[in-house]
Structure 1
């Protein structure tokens, strides 16, 4: 038969095993769930709450005045551009300046600090001298009418300062403003406050982190402004301030654009108006001639000579006046003393253009002259008068300069008229319809006049647009203070971490299930040994047994004793021949209960009036002498080497029919002793004396000493310990039967009372493989009891019990 390969992982689903592992690890599941609950609790309790507020602004491109006038929209808006403007640091800075949140106040707590936005019992005014002075928060508390302040994270000690007065501390001028009522409440109250002063340069950086500006709906042209922070009212105020400022800035931007256009139009109107005046003056002689044609007829020459004579006289007067002002300007612009200045002003005192300014300056010079007799030149009064004199000189120079420019412009106009008169004189008969100079001047005047009218119309349109401009945008949903934090989400955190805890607990169950490779029940034995008979199952003993010892005699009606009786009964179905029987007890490794089963199985057989002897052939690690509490000075090792006789080695137990031979001193060659002829002689001799010979052999998974003995006995018994023996050990049993040709090989499942619903007595009978239906139940109704009455367990202990 092909050898089945056992996987390291438990790759087959067994509902009973799964239930058993879950029951055994309920504490692990509940512990992991508790850890998840505790983590969620601490996160919810000691995480600073975060709040969010949002506002929706609608961006509109509609302008009622433009539509009414059928006027092109010169203030076209762009959604992306408005979005960028809202995100700009300049806009945020202006919004924060309106809120005055550069000083933040907190109530000091054990674990969390609570922000007192617009609710702090005091306020702080400050002037920053050193930027480093506000790097650390300030701790403030009140005692005996004064404030005690200290810097957090800086070992600078505490400072006692008066309230409502300016004080200087480490490059910071500050004043704590507090009312008397609030001061009395906080005096010696033990309350501590944290004050964080944020440098204006860092203010934008701090608050820009929580700001989000996104397009809410492209088709509706809406933008959503949201802010996340530690205080709900502050979040709402920041968003509303930014939204309102956006509307105001939108109006200002539009009006600024309109003002620029109106200013440009006004500048053009002024320039065109100057041109019109220029051409009007050039056309004036022609108009005068036309007006006088009806009175003087066609005598244009005489009229031109008369007009030219008048303009020549005016030109002479203007040139004389211009020369006087030039001389005056040249005189006072030079650095002359005040006496010479006073003389020049006195000579020009009758000049009507500068009489007012000249009079003030003369008065100042006279006042200085009178002071100079009483006080020195370095006195404050003299310096004050000198300053005023210099200002008046500058004003006089500016006035004189403007007068000179006006006179020069008048001379230019007179020259232009005289030129026209000369033309009129040369053409005695002036024909206005064919005179090119006149036609050119008249055409330029008409063009500029039409342009002037159009500019006036445009200016009126821009003014109407500006007057009707309210705002293209609208706040359709202002921000409100939301008292429900967005984080931590308490319910979600509990669900998440409880789920994580449950998942970890279940993952532990799954891992333990996959890694569960020990024998759990007789079904595992049958499955992996190709139905090798199970002689019986031995339940776990309730008390701790320090060493393998005889216990079936302590309470013959106990569950343990009944288990061994069942095995004794089942042995009758293996061999029915007459005569002495040999029974070997072996296992794969040490610790599976081999010696315990050998001692107690021998004891239970002895109860049936049969003489039984137990031989300890596990000479490498002997235990039988410990179970019977005797010395191990002589035994099988000394017997097989001929050092001791059989009679010397046989020892009696407290049971009448139960004898035993210990292993004796550990020999160097136990395997050779077991296969020796002397061993055969000893067995034959013991058959004459005893009905049953029980041999405790070495574990076959470690050494091969037991193979020769096992192959020759009547009852070869293999011990498998539930929840201890690996499933791979079962292959040794199959190997003994199939390869070593061990006949009548059977299995005893030790420690099988761990779970009655899985692999226990309710599922498998002791006569597994032989059809022996063990019909006795264990409980009060059938007359079988435990050796010690057990105290009633609490419900939780029953749930968490591993057995």
Structure 2
């Protein structure tokens, strides 16, 4: 009666085997070493040849009117604030925009003459190029009256203290030798070259050096520096700006930042002075018109008093006089305001630079709409100026700004005309009031009436003159005490520069990390996409089918190593397999062991031959039957004639006794396959197949049946009913994992009786930790037969001489104690 092994619940394991993966990393250590070597080499080359980039900073404190109160202003600032001469309110974010504007950057670079030409030293291998700034051994003097080709490379070789070689490629093909100071002139260039320090020039030191210079395009250079300037506020509550820029030469970047701060402060001060000058000019024009009137009124008043000997005026006359004077004062103010409105209209017709316009407060105007429109127009023109330097004339941004300027100018003109109209209405009302008072004056005595008229004209002129003189004095004081709203706190200094690229230590650290991560990622991907069976755990985690043994890689040239190397690890592994099979076939008359696999090349014939030999060597009468009628191999390995065999027996051409052949190996008999028939499957369905196995069971202790691959042909399925156990071959790193679920399904449905798996071609040097013939355990379930602990048995085998590396010896010592 056949014994059924006990069923154990099967759980499919999907977790990553960390120990196995660690061994895989250790086994492939050289790939990590190679990857790290290349990564460190690249890091070294980057650190060696990458252009060094330095960061420099300066700080500027700016006035922020959104945070400063009246109490924080100085005396003259309070005076100016009261006059509202410098009417634009300072905002820290607007100032940041000004510092990063194209116009300010352009003006800054225009004043830095060393920025006009870039001098470069070319490395010996031509890989690295180092800008020299003002440390170049020569200087170039450009002829400003001649057109210069910008951005074109001019090569220079300093030959001696007297002459140099000049070459220009890129289509010009110029190669000439010149003396220092000689002009070089063609259609593209006109310049002279001099030694910077002729006294200290060393020709031998410079002989191997190669230089070139480039005449820079100022607009392109402006865009470059404008783009790399970074501005931050150091404190959310403060108004200190930190200016940072980066470049290959720290001194050059420091010079730029310091000059930028200087030009920024100077331009702000110049703007304030220009507004003050225009204000004084406007007041002077008004004073010029009133001085003559005041002088005439003063003379008339003096002459009238002398001629008529009248000193006092009656109380009634004084009352009328005071009222008329009040109206006349109001009229004078309105006349000044009207003049200012007309000035604005003329200014808009003639001038584009509205920032030079006199402030409305000078004329005593406080209309918020007018002031707001003027400020908006000034800001729009400033934006337009910056855009014109960086964009095309028909760019969408410029068209949008022009449209806004047009609309704002139109609103401003309409507002001014409206103010003129309202002022004229006010003047008419005042004139009517004055006319009423004039009628009352006519009732006074003629002398008194004449005196009142003269004094009225004089007082009006005097009041206007006094008012204008006060404004003139205020504007003069404001201009005289004018200082910049901003101040440089810290200038940029090259000794404080910070190297930001290349970051040597960080690059080496990144190289080490990448040198480890890249091969690790590749190993993970290979592991993830690898569909081959690598070790026993790939099988154990996915099936309940027991593993009956593992066979190592055959390092000999013999196909039957158990015969030629009986004390080898290979032979011992087959002995362990023999023991496991004997334990599995524990019932009477269970003798037939069928050996098969999924596809060709997994080693089923090799396993069948060596299993047959090892069983025969134990004293058991063994038959090795070659039922692979399509690709027979056994007859070649045992050097037997294959003309007579199983195919001829099944075809009823030979008897059972005729096909059973005795070999030189004691207790081993072989039935070869015979001549390859045209219809193997039909032959196997012949009743003589059953007769063969019945007779073989009577004559032999064990029958080893070599069959075709299970997944290729149906022959094996026809032979399964005659087998007592099936030994299914899987080969390391060759067989697909997809076969395991298929086997498990057959096993669970009892379609394959007493199925067992044999793992073949395990590499002795692999990282998976196999040791031939060991690790099978006792009992049913996953393992059968006997087994020793992993790693035992050193010195018991007749092993091949396998050379181990020093690293593997260390691993062996650490993990195989």
Mapped to 1, the partners of 2:456 and 2:310 lie a distance apart of 22
Identify the range of structure 1 (230-239 vs 760-769) with the bigger mean alpha-carbon deviation: 760-769
Question: Would you say 1:506 and 2:520 are equivalent positions?
Answer: yes
- Give SS of 2:272's match: helix
Residue 152 of structure 1 and its aligned partner are, at CA, apart by 4.3
- State the match for 1:74 in structure 2: 85
The 5-angstrom pairing of residues 755-774 of structure 1 reads 764-765=775-776, 767=778, 769=780, 774=786
CA distance in 2, matches of 1:579, 1:81: 102
Q: 2:153 aligns with which of 137, 142, 146?
A: 137
Change (3 A) 1:58 1:762: farther
CA displacement at 1:114 relative to structure 2: 0.4
Residue 122 (structure 1) aligned to one of 127, 138, 148: 138
Query: What RMSD in Å do the two structures reach over aligned CA positions?
Result: 3.9
- Counterpart in the other structure of 1:263: 281
Could you tell which deviates more after superposition, 548-557 or 715-724? Answer: 715-724
d(CA) in 1 for partners of 2:590, 2:487:
110
Aligned equivalent of 2:486: 473
Q: Give the CA deviation at 1:575.
A: 3.0
Counterparts in 2 of 1:141 and 1:197: CA distance versus 1, 3 Å: same
Secondary structure of 1:600 counterpart: helix
Tell whether 2:728 aligns with 1:712.
no
Q: Is structure 2 residue 803 aligned with structure 1 residue 791? A: yes
In the TM superposition, what is the alpha-carbon distance from 1:57 to its structure 2 partner?
1.3
Q: Secondary structure at the match of 2:579?
A: helix
TM-superposed CA distance for 1:124, in Å, is 0.1
Instruction: Report the alpha carbon displacement of residue 581 of structure 1 after superposing the two structures with TM.
Output: 3.1
Q: Which moved more, 1:637-646 or 1:263-272?
A: 637-646
Is 1:88 the counterpart of 2:101 in the alignment? yes
Paired position in structure 2 for 1:234: 252
Correspondence 1:549-560 to 2 at 5 A: 549-560=559-570
How big is each residue's C-alpha offset from its partner over 1:465-486, in whole Å with a ceiling of 9 and x where there is no partner? 3333332211123223254332
State the Cα deviation string for residues 575-626 of structure 1 (Å, max 9, x = none).
Answer: 3456793322112222222111111111111212333332211122222234
User: Structure 1-normalised TM-score?
Assistant: 0.73
C-alpha separation in 2, matches of 1:711 and 1:594: 19
| CA distance, structure 2, for counterparts of residue 735 and residue 210 of structure 1 | 68
Query: Is 1:447 equivalent to 2:447 in the alignment?
Result: no
**How far did 1:164 drift?**
1.4
1:567 aligns with 2:577: yes
Q: Give the secondary structure class of the aligned counterpart of 2:133.
A: coil
| Cα drift, residue 197 of structure 1 | 0.4
Q: Given the alignment, which residue of 247, 259, 272 partners 2:290?
A: 272
Q: Which residue of 2 aligns with 1:175?
A: 192
Please report how far the alpha carbon of residue 644 of structure 1 lies from its aligned counterpart in structure 2 after TM superposition: 5.2
Structure 2 counterparts to residues 485-496 of structure 1, below 5 A: 485-496=499-510
Aligned-residue offset at 1:565:
1.2
Q: Write the deviation string for residues 487-523 of structure 1: whole angstroms up to 9, x where unpaired.
A: 3334444444544454443333433343354445545
The separation in 2 between residues aligned to 1:85 and 1:733, in whole angstroms, is 78
Which residue number in structure 2 is paired with residue 243 of structure 1?
Answer: 261
**Which moves more between the two structures, 491-500 or 474-483?**
491-500
In terms of mean alpha carbon deviation, does 570-579 or 131-140 score higher?
A: 570-579
Alignment map for 1:675-754 (pairs within 5 Å): 675-687=685-697, 689-739=699-749, 741-752=751-762
Structure 1 148/266 Cα, relative in aligned 2: closer, same or farther at 3 Å?
Answer: same
What does 1:618-657 align with in structure 2 at a 5 Å threshold? Answer: 618-629=628-639, 632-643=642-653, 649-650=659-660, 653-657=663-667
Q: How far has the Cα of 1:20 moved from its partner?
A: 4.4
Q: What does residue range 358-507 of structure 1 map to in structure 2 within 5 Å?
A: 434-481=447-494, 482-496=496-510, 498-507=512-521
Alpha carbons of 1:612 and 1:155: their partners in 2 closer, same or farther (altered >3 Å)? farther
Give yes or no for the alignment of 1:537 onto 2:523. Answer: no
Do the aligned partners of 1:550 and 1:599 also contact (CA within 8 Å) in 2? yes
Q: Distance in 2 between matches of 1:667 and 1:115?
A: 84
- Do the aligned residues in 2 keep the contact of 1:776 with 1:782 (CA within 8 Å)? no
Q: Distance in 2 between matches of 1:694 and 1:107?
A: 82
Unaligned 5+ runs, structure 1: 294-430
Whichever of the two has the greater Rg, that structure is 1
In structure 2, the residue corresponding to 1:138 is in which secondary structure? strand
1:152–1:228 Cα change, 3 Å: farther
Q: Retained in 2: the 8 A contact 1:612–1:658?
A: yes
Q: Structure 2 length as normaliser, TM-score? A: 0.72
What is the CA-CA distance between 1:737 and the residue it aligns to? 4.1
Structure 2: segments with no counterpart, 5+ residues: 1-5, 66-71, 312-443
What displacement does 1:141 show? 0.7
CA distance in structure 2 between the aligned counterparts of 1:229 and 1:635, rounded to whole angstroms: 88
How many residues align? The count is 659
| Match of residue 305 from structure 1 | none
Measured in 2, the distance between the counterparts of 1:258 and 1:796 equals: 88
* SS at 2:251 equivalent: helix
1:536 is paired with a residue whose SS is strand
